[in-house]
Copies of this chain bind each other. A is one copy, B any other.
Amino acid sequence: MSQKPSIPKGTRDFGQREMARRNYIFDTVRSVFKSFGYSQIETPAMENLGTLLGKYGDEGDKLLYRILNSGDAFASVDFNSPIAPQVCEKGLRYDLTVPFARYVVQHQGELSFPFKRFQMQPVWRADRPQKGRYREFWQCDVDVVGSRSQLCELELVQIVAKVFALLGIRVCLKINNRKILTALAEVCGYPGKVVDITVAIDKIEKIGLEAVEAEMLEKGLSAEAVAVLRPALTLSGSTASKIAAMRGMLSSSSEGMKGLDEVEELFSLISAAGVDMQCELDLSLARGLNYYTGAIFEVKALDWQIGSICGGGRYDNLTGIFGLPDMSGVGVSFGADRIYDVMCGLELFPKGLEAGADLLFANMGREELAYVLPLAAALREEGLSVEVYPDSAKLRKQFEYCERKGIPAISVCGTQEAEAGTIQVKKLSSGEQRSFSKAELGSAAAFVLGRE
């Protein structure tokens, strides 16, 4: 009957310590989202397959987790027969963007536009698990739909800056614009190859300029076209000088001018708002996703080697597939798991986050309990987290329980204290011991918390 217990590959249990740290990240992100007036929503873990399929490319479709309608169906149906779709209609959420688009279309009558929402939930992908890549992981998405103003982009930049400032992670925000990439494809003479070029450019940090150029040649670009693109991929200097250089290079493309105008406006707003974060224009930033139509964002941690810890961009067509065209939006997604890894690596979590109880009442037997239980209840009302040891075990064992759980103070109340109406409290780190009357429970709580 006995089974050796385990969990599916690529998934994780989170214990007290991890939960405290993860909640610290989620709480911080949530507080920043709220300070900019974003509303929290949640969508179901399961979406109809029709909502999910075809939204993430062929590769994405393969990585969707599909759910059978019930255990019953599994036993009784031939999955190769045409009836199969009827027993498998749902899939697990793959990201928070497509469910959000579905939500906006489905609830458009109830929403006020521009609609600003955030969402912090797990997503699932049947990816090959590896270090730092999980099959269940958490995203924190913040989006605004229903406005084309660059102020929306600015707001996301401000949010990124604030979140990472609060978490203590030094970052660089890379900014690009999809219209510039489109224009690059135009001016090099291959307007139909914008996706190939974008995908190749996306790899520049991983494989270098030479390999990217080789890949573009392989995709059918002429050596001349590749040469035209080269200066754009190796730009340096200030943002202003990069933009000026690009204006020359893309002058024949109205799309390119529009993209450069947007970028220039955004950097101007960032400066006007006094955003205190390293921001740079990076034309090699493309991100694989095809739905971006304007700004593209990616955040890198400066002091820890890891992929991007946050990213996003503007999309003009996201809700169109669900029947609501012309609803431009922009958003970014914070990768909670990678942020967690960075904060662990750099030891950025505040001390004492995973604190359990503040005080343990030792269990001296049934009679003493009648004295101790109301005291414990009263101290909880004073704001303390209080445990009463469940068994009247040897005191040594009860002290050990405190040590293992990191409970910093213990109260041993025997018949003597019960008769005198007092409470003894001992701090385990210093050995300091104090006695309080039942009327001084506020002082006892302050003593335990070190807030006298």
Contacts and interface: CB of A to CB of B under 8 A. Distances in A.
Interface of A: 1-8, 11-16, 19-20, 23, 34-37, 39-48, 50-51, 61-72, 74, 77-80, 84, 88-92, 102-103, 105-107, 110, 112, 114, 116-117, 122, 124, 126, 135-136, 144, 147-149, 151-152, 154-155, 158, 162, 269, 272-274, 320-323, 356-357, 360, 363, 369-370, 373-374, 376-377, 380, 384-388, 390-391, 401, 404-405, 407
A181 B363 CA distance: 31
Given A77-B79, A370-B272, A322 B2 contact: yes
B48 A8 contact: yes
B363 A151 contact: yes
Contacts of A105: 5
A267 to B, nearest CB: 14
Contact of A273 (B39, B92, B147, B373): B373
B44 A8 contact: yes
A42 B405 CA distance: 19
20 contacts: A3-B323, A4-B322, A5-B105, A5-B323, A7-B102, A8-B47, A15-B107, A34-B385, A35-B380, A37-B360, A45-B122, A46-B124, A63-B71, A66-B67, A72-B126, A77-B79, A112-B404, A114-B391, A272-B374, A274-B373
A46 to B, nearest CB: 5
Contact of A155 (B6, B68, B360, B388): B388
A46 B8 contact: yes
Contacts of A377: 158, 273-274
B390 A151 contact: yes
A323 B390 contact: no
Nearest to A384: B35
Copies of this chain: 2
A11 B43 CA distance: 9
Given A64-B70, A72-B62, A7 B384 contact: no
A272 B369 contact: yes
A385 to B, nearest CB: 5
A201 to B, nearest CB: 28
Nearest to A154: B373
Contact of A66 (B20, B71, B374): B71
Contact of A15 (B1, B39, B69, B70): B39
A82 to B, nearest CB: 13
Contacts of A66: 67-68, 70-71, 74
A1 B321 contact: yes
A5 B51 contact: yes
Contacts of A370: 272
Contacts of A391: 114, 147-149, 151
Contacts of A42: 13-14, 19
Contact of A3 (B43, B321, B404): B321
Given A4-B323, A42-B19, A36 B387 contact: yes
A3 B322 contact: yes
A317 B136 CA distance: 30
A385 B35 contact: yes
Nearest 5 CB-CB pairs, A to B?
Answer: A37-B357, A11-B44, A79-B79, A70-B126, A16-B39
A67 B65 contact: yes
A438 B357 CA distance: 44
B5 A322 contact: yes
Contacts of A40: 16, 19-20, 23
Contacts of A62: 70-72
Contacts of A67: 65-68, 92
A323 B2 contact: yes
Contacts of A80: 78-79
B15 A110 contact: yes
A36 B92 CA distance: 35
B323 A356 contact: no
Contacts of A357: 36-37
A47 B5 CA distance: 10
